[in-house]
Homo-oligomer: A and B are copies of this chain.
Amino acid sequence: MSSKNPDTRHRILEAARTMLEEEKAPKVRMGDIAKAAGISRQALYLHFPTRAELLVATARFLDEVNGADAKFAACSEARTGRERLDAFIQAWGGYIPEIYGVGRALLAMQDTDEAARAAWEDRMQAVRSGCRSAVEMLDSDGSLCSEVTAERAVDLLWTLLSVRNWEQLTQACGWSQAEYVREMQALAQRALIRAEN
């Protein structure tokens, strides 16, 4: 639509990706990204009208580069609910650190920018639908814990796997990624899967 040189656009996205990988993603400014892309701030606005839109585009770009969709899709090859749950949590454990920086930046502006909030929510639908498919399989499997409805279980799982949780457990509690994934697999199993009696 409004974009000009697709090459420049690509350079911007690459620059944004690199910048936003770093620790302090929410502090990355438009000017920083422009400088890293080797263009002026105004040229940046020619390609992306707002910061939120640039961040969203970067998130999409990241997903594309990392083949996020394919990784999630691969989970549906699992043949039991339990396997799918594990596969999904594993996939998610790899996904979150990939988009962590951009996600943090987007989340940080969600209070002031409704578009950013909606965009991030939209982004998270991939994760949420992964939760849903895992839980549905548990349900049809008969392995879903009888004390929880499928709908409830989706919400719970989705919340357990939110970026915020990841953040809290890795940063404040010092958990490693591997620990986190393992622990969440165990937690989800204990909380969602019918106890074998």
**Interface residues of A, Cβ cutoff 8 Å to B:** 24, 26-27, 104, 108, 111-112, 121, 145, 147-148, 152, 155-156, 158-160, 162, 164-165, 168-169, 172-173, 175, 183, 186-187, 190-191, 195, 197
Contacts and interface: CB of A to CB of B under 8 A. Distances in A.
A55 B196 CA distance: 49
A186 B191 CA distance: 9
Contact of A27 (B111, B156, B172, B195): B111
Contacts of A165: 159, 162, 164-165
A168 to B, nearest CB: 5
B27 A147 contact: no
A140 B148 CA distance: 29
A26 B112 contact: yes
Nearest to A168: B159
A112 B27 contact: yes
A111 B108 contact: yes
A187 B145 contact: no
13 contacts: A26-B111, A27-B111, A27-B112, A108-B111, A147-B186, A155-B169, A158-B173, A159-B168, A162-B168, A164-B164, A164-B165, A187-B191, A190-B191
B168 A156 contact: no
